[in-house]
Amino acid sequence: MAEIIRMPKMSDTMEEGVIAAWLKKVGDEVKPGDILAEVETDKATMELESYEEGTLLHIGVEEKDSVPVNGVIAIIGEKGENIDDLLKEAGNGGGQSESQPKEESKKEEEKEESSSEESESSDEEVDTSDINATLITMPKMSDTMQEGTIASWLKKVGDDIKSGDILAEVETDKATMELESYEDGTLLYVGVEEGDSVAIDGVIAIIGEKGADYEKLLKAHESKSSGKKEDKPAKKEEPKAESKKEDKPAESKKEESKQATSSAPSTTEGGRVKASPLAKKMAEDKGVDISLIKGTGENGRIIRRDVEQFDPASVQQPAAASAQAGAPAIGQESFREEKVSQMRKTIAKRLAESKFSAPHFYLTMEINMDKAIEARKSMNEIAPVKISFNDMVIKAAAAALRQNPKVNSSWLGDKIRYNDHINIGMAVAVEEGLLVPVIRFADNKSLSQISQEAKSLGAKAKNKELQPKDWEGNTFTVSNLGMFGIDEFTAIINPPDACIMAVGGIKETVVVKNGEMKVGNVMKVTLSCDHRVVDGAVGSAFLQTFKNLLEDPVRILI
Torsion, Cα 264 267 272 276, to 10 degrees, reads: 70
By the 8 A CB rule, do 367 and 550 touch?
Answer: yes
**Dihedral sign for Cα atoms in the order 53, 56, 60, 65:** positive
Active-site residue, from 184, 196, 370, 531 = 531
How far apart, in whole angstroms, are the C-alpha atoms of residue 479 and residue 425? 8
* 531 flagged as catalytic: yes
Distance CA 439, CA 426 (A): 7
Q: Where are the alpha helices (DSSP H) in 124-247?
A: 214-228, 237-246
Has 360 been annotated as catalytic?
no
Q: Please report, as a single letter, which amino acid is at residue 120.
A: E
Give the strands of the sheet with 3-6, arranged side by side.
3-6, 72-77, 54-59, 29-30
Please pick, among 85, 160, 535, 552, the residue that the annotation labels catalytic: 535
- Terminal-to-terminal C-alpha distance of the chain: 78
Q: Which of 62, 64, 72 is nearest to 93 (CA)?
A: 72
Cα distance between residue 355 and residue 491, in whole Å: 10
Q: Is the dihedral of CA 287, 437, 275, 38 positive or negative?
A: negative
Nearest Cα to 98, choosing from 85, 89, 88?
89
346-355 own/partner pairs: CB under 8 Å, 24+ apart: 346/42, 346/43, 346/173, 347/433, 347/434, 350/495, 351/492, 353/495, 354/492, 354/493, 354/494, 354/495, 355/492
Could you tell me which residues come within 8 angstroms of residue 457 by beta carbon, excluding any fewer than 6 positions away?
Answer: 426, 428, 437, 438, 439, 466, 470
Structure-derived torsion over alpha carbons of residues 200, 202, 205, 208, reported in degrees to the nearest 10: 100
CA-to-CA distance for 148 and 198, rounded, in angstroms?
6
Q: At what angle do helices 389-403 and 447-462 cross, to 10 degrees?
A: 110
CA dist., res. 108 & res. 93, Å (int): 20
Helical axes 99-123 vs 214-228, angle rounded to 10°: 100
Catalytic residues: 531, 535
